[in-house]
Structure 1
Amino acid sequence: MPTSKPLPRTLEDWLDRLDKQLLPVPADHHLNACRALSDSRRSLRDIAELMQASPALALCVLREANRQGGSFSAPAESLESALSRLGLQRALELVKRQPARPLAEIPLALRQIQLISQHAAQQASGLFSARLARLWQEIHWGSLLFLAPIWSLLAAYPELFEQWEQRVLAHAEPATKVEQDLLGVPLLALCQALAERWRLPDWVIQGYRLLVEDRRQLVKALHIARDNQHPLHQQHMLDADTPLRRWLTQPANSILLANGLALSAHQAWNSPHSLRWQLLSGLYLQLPLSDVQQHIHQYAAQSARQQTTAELWHPAQALLWPWDARRLHGNTRAPVAMPKPADNGWRQHCAQLLVQPSAFQNLDQLTTGATQALQACGMSRVLLLLPDPSNGRLRAQQQSGLDKSASTLTIDPQQSQVLRRLLKAPAQLRLTPANIAQFSALLPGSLKALFPSEHLLIRSLASNDRVVMVIVADQAGAALSDTSVQAFGKTAQCIQRALDSFAKRER
């Protein structure tokens, strides 16, 4: 698609063009900000919190405050300090000069990149602010404003975003080649130059300098981060490289990591690019990869709930999809035909489960009979998980209708609030499109990969006052009727009776 205006082709021409670019502001945000700045009863913190709903307003105020500060003054690191430096009257005059537009008239590409920035700020707040509480303002505003140079780029040439998405994400062209074709200059170099000209917070500039001028630190850190399953070995490697260890622990890295996570998730949560940022975050936070993934999924869901996402793409939506799906590839799976339940077989299998004393010679026979009963009641995909007494992990005991990898599945329930609750006491969770957004982020990624479905049943069963089995089942992703749910419940009760009988037999 041709661009609407001639594009600059040199770094200086780009800087001149984008430095003059005004960012449109949603009309309601513009009005609320003007009212807040005119209200003498409001504190600077109140005004800053209100204005952060519009990233464009936050940028224009902070950028102006740092321009006015002079070359000998440290740049303001937060909107609150920028308002203090400018004064409310000058800030009000500045805001009034910004173009207020109905939301529909603001380029979709600009709104999309600002949503990514807001997602990054949510990730930064959740992952890092609690650990670095005294620096929460620097973390929040640095992560929100890190992509600000791209805001101006897309306000001037919104069509570039779709071209970049299609060529880089959809068709896997090298990003450097695409940037050279579209811009004539490397995108990161342009972002760094704009950040320095606008005197954005130091952490933003440090992040771009690292990406442009010294990627060796990132490469060395990633090499260590890949060994996420051996934290002691990671620590030994860091101890052997003191400069790398000192660099890694710098708080400024938090905003780079948050934006890396948000940007890579825009394509997919399980892409190699996304995995690299997850591993780096795990090394920075000294957390296992499963913990990092659990947290970032939860913070993405929180971000989606807090932001206006009409017409926009938020990566939290992909948490409801098959794990290997891609938005730009149209790679969603076709619905699978639901098998018909074998009613006669179901009664026979349940009768076998209810035999007193237990007819099963060992646990494998019992779980095989339980799986067959669940299949007969209409569940086409079944997974039985048993807690390992030695380490508390859940291990797959039986599976049907799933990938072969399910047979060796091991899950740490401490990484999932849902599983912890189910292991605490017998309970049942029915996932539906109405509650999937609430619970999906609380489930392990490995389990969601096996059951890419919005219709799922998870139930825990106990024996001798201790949960001894977790059942996960669905009907190949199809909607579950009330009759199917009732049949599942009756089958689970039969399995429960079989577990009790088997425990008595063993004694």
Structure 2
Amino acid sequence: MPIETEVSGQAPRTLEAWVKLLESVRIPVPKHSYDRVMAAINDNRRSLRDIAELMQDSPALVLSVMREANHPTNASQAEPAESLEIALNRLGLERSALLLKRLPALPMEDIPPVLRQFQMISQHASQQASGLFASRLARLWQEIHWGSLLFLSPLWPLALAHPKLLDTWELRVIHKGEDAAIVEQELFGVRIMALCQAVAQQWRLPQWVTQGYRLLLEEREQLAQVLNIARDEDLLNQQHRLDAEPGLRRWFNQPANTVLLANNLALAAQVGWDNPHLLRWQLLTALYLQTSLEDIQQQVHQQAAASARRHARLALFHPAEALIWPWHQRRPHPDMLAPPPPTADELARWRSLCQDLLAQPSPFTNTVHLAAQAREAVLACGMQRLLLLGLDRANDCLRVQQAAGLAKEATSLVLPVAANKLLQKLMSKAGQLRITPENHTQFASLLPPPLRALFRGEHVLLRSLAVNDQVVMLLVADQGCRPLADISVQAFGKTSQCIERALWVFANRNG
């Protein structure tokens, strides 16, 4: 079965539909890990502990074995297996081998990067949990280790089925700090923590995993109370305040909370080491371990470095890289960086397309032919998404003539001009509007809602095109929501002029 990096069609919008989809996704296993584990299973000299240790290098293998062992048809026990060794014992080596044979094994470079990035975050979390808590709670080290590794595992099939959605969620919630509830309702139709909880329950993951989601969803008031105590700079006063509320102290000191603390430390560190979200979880961890913030930060940095030595991979970001950066520097999401400028070959193609637009007499047989050439020229100058809308004067509306980089539904877009003041202004006289982070709040709200839904980024170009001082088209383009490269903005302006000239030549072809 081929591994799809994006499930076709619309993403689910209900919890039940999401769980059904994610339940059906088969997560690929790195080929080198697969081969090593299969060889160990077939070697009668290897113990279950040896095999479990080999599986640790592949989170997908661990998840597959735990899910299979905890499936109702395989788990007669009331409680789910809390460790990989218990899961292997339940299945036995023969059934474990059969399970592995059903999994897709791929070279590492063929596994989608969004999936690999989230699995590495899980590995980093496991390292943080083991380093911070396992020695203090030695009898529970397996629960800590496997629970922390699997806590974010419901996101792994999501990263495979809809990587663009998860990538957009990371950009907007983690990097830009947008309201998670609003973003998740827009992208998924459900809260992502509720989805993770439902999937974890469906898979019967270790109880410490589901308990962490319950805390985030149902016990946030207690978490806020504890965080308020953790912000007290006097360590002795912290303990006095916690001791004064024994119920809250017992709730916070549960060993299962180590899984939640470790995963939030790892997830927040993806942005950088100096961000408010990470500070909150460092403060909570310091309170949990009854030590200072400075001590926890040092330990967290050490565990990040240890994780990088084991888990860092080419083309993936590990937070340990940022330890040598200036303290206040944060890692931008790739979509927060301007794309590279067009190559020499791309610019040569752009010039050729513009020359065709400027040719006389007009080489175009109809406006559809001309609009298609215009679309290719705009894409060649570096734009990644665009709409070219033509003015329907009879109905006073704009209709899509060409589109690129957008969902198919965009081609049926119809925008009444009279209903929107910004469209009226753009269509009254040829001109260009560049939306930037500085003016986004001012202009984004003025865009027609269907157009705003398609171009939600803070970097958008709108250009009205005229023939004989009469506006006939509207061009909307961006570089995939990323900051606009200066050379592409300049080329966009020249391309727009070429399209206007082509429209004039075509309109006067029989003159």
Common fold by TM > 0.5: yes
1:265 Cα offset (Å)? 0.5
Is 2:63 the counterpart of 1:41?
Answer: no
1:58 Cα offset (Å)? 0.3
AA aligned to 1:233 is N
Aligned residue in 2 for 1:247: 251
CA contact (8 A) 2:74 2:91 kept: no
Aligned residue in 2 for 1:301: 305
Aligned residue in 2 for 1:26: 30
CA distance in 2, matches of 1:160, 1:329: 14
Is 2:192 the counterpart of 1:187?
Answer: yes
In the TM superposition, what are the counterparts of 1:237-276 in structure 2 within 5 Å? 237-276=241-280
Could you report, residue by residue, the CA deviation over 1:114-164 in whole angstroms, capped at 9, with x for unpaired residues? 000000000000000000111111100000000000011111111223212
More off after superposition, 153-162 vs 118-127: 153-162
Is 2:116 the counterpart of 1:111?
Answer: yes
Out of 167, 173, 176, which is 1:168 matched to? 173
1:87 is paired with a residue of what secondary structure?
Answer: helix
CA distance in 1, matches of 2:6, 2:133: 41
1:2 Cα offset (Å)? 9.3
CA distance in 1, matches of 2:315, 2:69: 33
In the TM superposition, what are the counterparts of 1:98-497 in structure 2 within 5 Å? 98-227=103-232, 229-328=233-332
2:273 is paired with a residue of what secondary structure?
Answer: coil
In the TM superposition, what are the counterparts of 1:10-25 in structure 2 within 5 Å? 10-25=14-29
CA distance in 1, matches of 2:228, 2:218: 19
Is 2:72 the counterpart of 1:85?
Answer: no
Out of 46, 52, 59, which is 1:55 matched to? 59
1:268 is paired with a residue of what secondary structure?
Answer: coil
Aligned residue in 2 for 1:76: 81
Could you report, residue by residue, the CA deviation over 1:430-485 in whole angstroms, capped at 9, with x for unpaired residues? xxxxxxxxxxxxxxxxxxxxxxxxxxxxxxxxxxxxxxxxxxxxxxxxxxxxxxxx
1:25 Cα offset (Å)? 0.7
AA aligned to 2:58 is S
CA distance in 2, matches of 1:276, 1:181: 26
AA aligned to 1:12 is E
CA contact (8 A) 2:119 2:156 kept: yes
CA distance in 1, matches of 2:7, 2:183: 15
Could you report, residue by residue, the CA deviation over 1:375-428 in whole angstroms, capped at 9, with x for unpaired residues? xxxxxxxxxxxxxxxxxxxxxxxxxxxxxxxxxxxxxxxxxxxxxxxxxxxxxx
1:168 Cα offset (Å)? 2.2
More off after superposition, 160-169 vs 172-181: 160-169
1:69 Cα offset (Å)? 4.2
Unaligned stretches of 5+ residues in structure 1? 333-507
CA distance in 2, matches of 1:81, 1:47: 12
CA contact (8 A) 1:11 1:185 kept: yes
CA distance in 2, matches of 1:293, 1:261: 10
Could you report, residue by residue, the CA deviation over 1:212-237 in whole angstroms, capped at 9, with x for unpaired residues? 1111121111010001x311111111
AA aligned to 2:172 is R
CA contact (8 A) 2:226 2:284 kept: yes
2:200 is paired with a residue of what secondary structure?
Answer: helix
1:46 is paired with a residue of what secondary structure?
Answer: helix
1:169 Cα offset (Å)? 3.5
CA distance in 1, matches of 2:316, 2:75: 38
CA contact (8 A) 1:224 1:234 kept: yes
AA aligned to 2:212 is G
2:57 is paired with a residue of what secondary structure?
Answer: coil
1:148 is paired with a residue of what secondary structure?
Answer: coil
CA contact (8 A) 1:169 1:328 kept: no
Question: Percent same amino acid at aligned positions?
Answer: 59
Could you report, residue by residue, the CA deviation over 1:48-84 in whole angstroms, capped at 9, with x for unpaired residues? 0000100000000011101144475211000011000
Aligned residue in 1 for 2:356: none
- Alignment length, in residue pairs? 331
Aligned residue in 1 for 2:360: none
Question: In 2 relative to 1, CA 223–161 (structure 1 residues): closer, same or farther, beyond 3 Å?
Answer: same
CA distance in 1, matches of 2:176, 2:262: 25
Question: In 2 relative to 1, CA 52–2 (structure 1 residues): closer, same or farther, beyond 3 Å?
Answer: closer
- The RMSD of aligned alpha carbons is 1.8
CA contact (8 A) 1:37 1:92 kept: yes
CA contact (8 A) 2:29 2:104 kept: yes
1:307 Cα offset (Å)? 1.2
AA aligned to 1:264 is A
Question: In 2 relative to 1, CA 125–42 (structure 1 residues): closer, same or farther, beyond 3 Å?
Answer: same
CA distance in 2, matches of 1:167, 1:4: 23
More off after superposition, 158-167 vs 109-118: 158-167
